[in-house]
């Protein structure tokens, strides 16, 4: 399907940029691009988004693999659905696979961990906000904080894909329901009414009986004499007398002569 080209493109761009950062920067290095608002900062993320970690090493990788497999199956299932919705899913799939490659192979490839225990390379540093948190927020209120997520191309693809799903899901479900309704109507149109079938069968039988020629019965004169003799012997008055067969015209001509 064409949507998988989007997935492949996201994986390619994501891996090329990560390998370029790994080869040209050291961990913790930060290079300004647009002042402090946008920087290239090389870091490794051992967990999920925003560095969230839980469970033993490799658990997050296994969960990510399971979720990615479900997304792949779902894309195949809705392969004839609304195109923008499917492309949004393809973006999420590409981002998920891009980060899974880091988690599965990078630890072994770069020599700092075993397979399935690698860390995701992040480098796009966006400084969204800095300031004091309002006092009304429990625990964190009144403290100075900076909101500057560091992510990568795969993370950006996932975010854009999620936004696309939220925007296009209504149109997708509307078209999907309409397609299922048309399919059900097409199936029921092939079914015939039993009453119509019975009437058609009766009409065919009547037409066949009308077209059948009448049966011709030939009677042997000798058998007629036998039937008349049997009726006279039994005295059965229910058997009507059988008339003698007409004589051949040649015999009449012989008697007249």
pLDDT per residue as tens digits for the range 161-203:
999 999 999 999 999 888 888 888 887 765 555 555 555 556 5
Percentage of the chain surpassing pLDDT 90? Answer: 50
pLDDT at 237: 47
Residues belonging to the active site? 122, 155
For residues 241-246, average pLDDT: 54
pLDDT: which is higher, 101 or 223: 101
Residue count of the chain, please give it: 257
pLDDT at 228: 59
Please name which of 152, 148, 115, 119 lies closest in space to residue 131, comparing C-alpha atoms.
148
pLDDT per residue as tens digits for the range 99-146:
999 999 999 999 999 999 999 999 999 988 878 888 888 877 888 777
For residues 56-84, average pLDDT: 92
Question: Could you give the CA distance from residue 221 to residue 219 in angstroms, rounded to a whole number?
Answer: 6
Question: Could you give the CA distance from residue 100 to residue 60 in angstroms, rounded to a whole number?
Answer: 10
132: left (phi over 0), alpha (psi -120 to 50) or beta: beta
pLDDT per residue as tens digits for the range 2-28:
899 999 999 999 999 999 999 999 999
């Amino acid at each position: 399907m064409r949507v998988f080209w989007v997935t492949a493109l996201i994986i390619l761009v994501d891996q090329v940029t990560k390998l370029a950062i790994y080869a040209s920067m050291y961990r913790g290095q930060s290079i300004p691009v647009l002042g402090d608002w946008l920087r290239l900062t090389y870091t490794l993320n051992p967990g999920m988004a925003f560095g969230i970690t839980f469970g033993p090493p490799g658990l997050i990788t296994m969960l990510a693999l399971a979720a990615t497999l479900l997304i792949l199956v779902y894309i195949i299932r809705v392969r004839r659905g609304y195109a923008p919705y499917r492309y949004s899913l393809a973006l999420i799939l590409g981002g998920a696979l891009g980060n899974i490659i880091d988690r599965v192979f990078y630890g072994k490839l770069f020599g700092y961990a075993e397979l399935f225990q690698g860390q995701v390379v992040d480098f796009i540093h966006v400084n969204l906000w800095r300031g004091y948190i309002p006092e009304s927020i429990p625990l964190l209120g009144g403290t100075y904080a900076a909101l500057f997520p560091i992510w990568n191309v795969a993370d950006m693809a996932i975010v854009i894909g999620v936004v696309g799903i939220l925007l296009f899901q209504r149109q997708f479900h509307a078209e999907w329901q309409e397609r299922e309704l048309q399919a059900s109507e097409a199936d029921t149109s092939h079914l015939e009414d039993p009453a119509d079938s019975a009437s058609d069968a009766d009409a065919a039988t009547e037409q066949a009986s009308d077209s059948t020629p009448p049966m011709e019965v030939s009677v042997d004169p000798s058998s007629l004499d036998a039937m008349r003799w049997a009726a006279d012997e039994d005295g059965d008055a229910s058997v009507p007398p059988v008339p003698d067969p007409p004589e051949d015209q040649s015999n009449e001509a012989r008697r007249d002569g």
